[in-house]
């Protein structure tokens, strides 16, 4: 059964101890009206406050992704779960074109795009089910769920 972008984003790729335990961090977030961060959105940790916020084009700081794990954060929460460790793999929404192995960075609305420079916070690995022998990764397009690996590079 093929899953939609909305169903995939925020889902850790491997149901392993690494992606579901070791790669997760607890973090702080702003609270109040409209402060909940949707699953699958790329977030960054602000240097000055240590608060995680939705990443946009040009965001700087450590990057992570809000995983599809319950309970999800809500407006009143001051804490959240972030998949933020280098090597973790998760599905996020692409906002450009990308070739397999492309370096990615944050973009508008907590999505990712291919970088024009050398370093990136994520690596494009393909789509759901791709990247195995006999099923190589294909190019990514905007609006699709992309399988990415966190690099640990700080923007």
pTM confidence score = 0.92
What value does the mean pLDDT of the chain take? Answer: 91
Q: Is the confidence at residue 1, as pLDDT, over 60?
A: no
The total domain count for the chain is 1
CATH at 135: 2.40.300.10
pLDDT digits (tens, 9 = 90+) for 60-116: 999 999 999 888 888 899 999 999 999 999 999 999 999 999 999 999 999 999 998
Q: Could you give the CA distance from residue 84 to residue 22 in angstroms, rounded to a whole number?
A: 10
Give me the domain span that covers residue 3.
1-155
Q: Could you give the CA distance from residue 155 to residue 138 in angstroms, rounded to a whole number?
A: 26
């Amino acid at each position: 059964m093929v899953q939609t972008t909305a169903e995939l984003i925020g889902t850790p790729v491997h149901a392993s101890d690494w992606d579901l335990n070791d790669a997760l961090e607890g973090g702080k977030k702003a609270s109040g009206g409209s402060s909940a961060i949707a699953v699958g959105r790329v977030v960054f940790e602000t240097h000055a406050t240590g608060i995680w916020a939705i990443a946009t084009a040009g965001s700087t700081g450590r990057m992570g992704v809000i995983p599809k794990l319950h309970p999800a954060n809500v407006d009143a929460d001051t804490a959240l779960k972030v998949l933020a460790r280098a090597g973790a793999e998760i599905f996020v929404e692409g906002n450009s074109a990308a070739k397999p192995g492309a370096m990615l960075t944050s973009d508008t609305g907590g999505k990712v795009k291919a970088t024009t420079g050398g370093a990136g916070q994520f690596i494009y690995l393909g789509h759901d089910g791709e990247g195995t022998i006999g099923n190589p990764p294909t190019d990514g397009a905007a609006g699709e769920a992309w399988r990415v690996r966190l690099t640990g590079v700080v923007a």
